[in-house]
């Protein structure tokens, strides 16, 4: 986008928008200028020459959705191995396939995920994987926001452990603040069962020195809790807290098996929990106590986890899963209403990652998504949040704007060559799935 284009505005007329905090649905007109929301008004807005005017009739405007935990390149393994135990899935299928990945595979796998995500209304992700340079190159080319990290796996801080820490540090030094500030970084000790205590301490030290958050997996399975009790002498959240891990801002995926005391620790340490309901359900890992976490004052965001376990990266589906699973488990239809699920998918993720629109309000970053609620799957949309969360689909998203720049317009990707991505994925699957 050229400089002259940046100074021109986008005006979205007559749109129902999730305005303010907590977000409520309201008919408004929006103006976007220089990457931020410059007007939100119930009255028609004056137009300037060169403005892009968008008719918002029948559509619902939301702050961009934040997929706060994923592994972008894992879309290469979508449907490679389903309906098996986590152990079989990892040891027999995913880890052998990951050994075959080249930096180019990771680049094209990332583009596949980014294409799917933008088409479904995601404007920002938190990713953890390896070949971080390839992922960062893809993210910067498509102009999404992302918090990227190298996933550290090391039993102790030996030569291999130091090498892993070195890769994590290199990713931060190379990519933090890149892509006009749309890329940030984090430090990712993968999990309590894949990193030794000295590795955790070194990771926390690195995050402190670089002023970046931690992005980790935490208390995903019962087996992990049993393992931590045996090896660390405590449950995972309590054990990491004692080690001082949460002295650094932390984004923790899953937190499925946490005690009331651990929820209190998560709240006190301002840890953001990233709920990944579909991945947890599909892998048979149980349900996270989301309502209790929210009641304890924990910031809970939403993520899809990788497409190898989900198998999609549709944040609307994730909102629906989050809400329905809590209602089902607690046998209470009043818990986690649609509006709250939408806030988890937008504001709570943006707060945790420290960038992007937290809400639709003047002065916020212009990360805006338009969802068509005039289709046969969603009308009549008496309540736009209900229509979105209980009836909508990623394919109902028509427009995606990040920092005032169009990435999807009338369902067409503007920064990704979709056909080329499909071709590049197609010519890789034989090699990646070979036994």
Residues near Zn ion (CB under 5 A) = 305
Nearest approach, Cβ of residue 85 and Zn ion (Å)? 17
3-state secondary structure the chain: CCHHHHHCCEEEEEEEEEECCCCEEEEEEEEEECCEEEEEECCCCCCCCCCEEEECCCEEEEECEEEEEECHHHHHHCCCCCCCCHHHHHHHHHHHHHHCCCHHHHHHHHHHHHHHHHHCCEEEEEEEECCHHHHHHHHHHHCCEEEEEEEECECCCCHHHHHHHHHHHHHHHHHCCCCCCCEEECEEECCCCCECHHHHHHHHHHHHHHCCCEEEEECCCHHHHHHHHHHCCCCHHHHHHHCCHHHCCEEEEECCCCCHHHHHHHHHCCCEEEECHHHHHHCCCCCCCHHHHHHCCCEEEECCCCCCCCCCCCHHHHHHHHHHHHHHHHCCCCCCCHHHHHHHHHHHHHHHHCCCCCCECCCCECCEEEEECCCCCCCCCCCHHHHHHHHCCHHHEEEEEECCEEEEECCEECCCCHHHHHHHHHCCHHHHCCC
Which CB sits closer to Zn ion, 29 or 70? 70
Which CB sits closer to Zn ion, 74 or 344? 74
Nearest approach, Cβ of residue 86 and Zn ion (Å)? 12
Which CB sits closer to Zn ion, 305 or 340? 305
Which CB sits closer to Zn ion, 67 or 134? 67
Nearest approach, Cβ of residue 77 and Zn ion (Å)? 13
Nearest approach, Cβ of residue 253 and Zn ion (Å)? 5
Nearest approach, Cβ of residue 8 and Zn ion (Å)? 40
Which CB sits closer to Zn ion, 305 or 405? 305
Which CB sits closer to Zn ion, 216 or 345? 216
Which CB sits closer to Zn ion, 116 or 305? 305
What's the first-to-final CA gap in the chain, in angstroms? Answer: 45
Nearest approach, Cβ of residue 189 and Zn ion (Å)? 13
Q: Which two tokens stand for residue 64?
A: 């961009």
CA max distance for the chain? 68
Nearest approach, Cβ of residue 108 and Zn ion (Å)? 20
- Whether 246 and 255 have beta carbons less than 8 Å apart is answered as no
Nearest approach, Cβ of residue 304 and Zn ion (Å)? 9
Which CB sits closer to Zn ion, 98 or 305? 305
Q: Which two tokens stand for residue 102?
A: 């080249």
- Whether 374 and 14 have beta carbons less than 8 Å apart is answered as no
Nearest approach, Cβ of residue 269 and Zn ion (Å)? 21
Which CB sits closer to Zn ion, 186 or 403? 186
Which CB sits closer to Zn ion, 305 or 365? 305
Nearest approach, Cβ of residue 309 and Zn ion (Å)? 8
Residue nearest to Zn ion (CB): 305
């Amino acid at each position: 986008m050229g400089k002259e284009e940046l100074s021109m505005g986008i005006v979205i007329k007559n749109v129902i928008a999730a305005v303010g905090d907590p977000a409520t649905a309201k008919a408004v007109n929006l103006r976007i200028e220089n990457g931020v929301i410059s007007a939100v008004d119930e009255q028609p807005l004056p137009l300037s020459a060169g403005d892009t005017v968008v008719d918002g009739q029948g559509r619902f405007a939301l702050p961009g959705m934040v997929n706060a935990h994923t592994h972008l390149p894992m879309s290469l393994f979508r449907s490679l191995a389903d309906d098996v135990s986590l152990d079989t899935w990892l040891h027999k299928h995913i880890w052998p396939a990951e050994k075959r990945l080249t930096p180019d595979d990771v680049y094209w796998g990332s583009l596949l995920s980014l294409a799917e995500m933008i088409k479904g209304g995601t404007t920002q992700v938190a990713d953890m994987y390896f070949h971080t340079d390839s992922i960062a190159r893809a993210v910067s080319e498509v102009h999404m926001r992302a918090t990227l990290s190298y996933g550290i796996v090391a039993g102790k801080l030996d030569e291999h452990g130091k090498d892993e820490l070195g890769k994590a540090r290199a990713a931060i030094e190379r990519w933090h603040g890149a892509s006009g500030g749309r890329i940030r970084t984090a430090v990712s000790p993968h999990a309590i069962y894949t990193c030794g205590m000295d590795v955790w301490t070194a990771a926390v030290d690195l995050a402190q020195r670089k002023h970046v958050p931690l992005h980790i997996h935490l208390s995903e399975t019962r087996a992990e809790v049993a393992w931590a009790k045996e090896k660390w002498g405590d449950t995972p959240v309590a054990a990491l807290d004692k080690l001082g891990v949460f002295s650094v801002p932390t984004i923790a995926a899953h937190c499925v098996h946490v005690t009331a005391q651990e929820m209190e620790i998560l709240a006190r340490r301002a840890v953001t929990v990233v709920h990944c309901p579909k991945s947890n359900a599909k892998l048979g890992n149980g349900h996270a106590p989301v309502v209790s976490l929210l009641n304890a004052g924990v910031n809970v965001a939403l993520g899809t986890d990788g497409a190898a376990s989900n198998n999609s990266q549709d944040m609307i589906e994730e909102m629906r899963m989050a809400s329905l699973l809590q209602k089902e488990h607690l046998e209470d239809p009043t818990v986690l209403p649609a509006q709250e699920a939408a806030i988890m998918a937008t504001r709570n993720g943006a707060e945790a990652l420290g960038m992007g629109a937290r809400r639709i309000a003047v002065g916020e970053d212009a990360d805006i998504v338009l969802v068509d609620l005039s289709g046969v799957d969603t009308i009549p949309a008496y309540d736009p949040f209900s229509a979105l969360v209980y009836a909508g689909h990623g394919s109902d998203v028509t427009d995606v704007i990040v920092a005032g720049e169009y990435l999807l317009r009338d369902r067409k990707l503007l920064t990704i060559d979709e056909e080329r991505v499909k071709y590049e994925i197609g010519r890789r699957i034989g090699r990646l799935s070979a036994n």
